[in-house]
Amino acid sequence: MSDNHPDPERYWRHRRRLAYTAMGALLFTLACALFAPVREATIPLIESLAWAFAVIVIGYYGNNAIEAFSRSKK
């Protein structure tokens, strides 16, 4: 049995879509927070959403950076 994924591009395509969706949601959340009236009770929710989206984006691009760095060392 092979250890390789049968279609690695499919896996990365889905991760890329998730990261781009999270970036869009992060920008949308930022725009809403800047241009719409924000009630004080919703500030913790907005902060939590922003952190969750940021973690997804950092995870995707951080993994890409680590892979690029490890390929250049070989």
Contact 26, 57 (CB under 8 A): yes
Residue 2 scores a pLDDT above 60: no
CA torsion 11-14-19-24 (nearest 10°) is 170
Residue 1 scores a pLDDT above 60: no
Please state the φ and ψ torsions of residue 38, each to the nearest 5 degrees: -110, 125
- Angle at 73 (CA atoms; ends 70, 19), nearest 5 degrees: 25
Q: Which two tokens stand for residue 51?
A: 């952190």
The pTM score is 0.68
Maximum separation of any 2 CA atoms in the chain, in Å: 57
* Greater model confidence, 48 or 69: 48
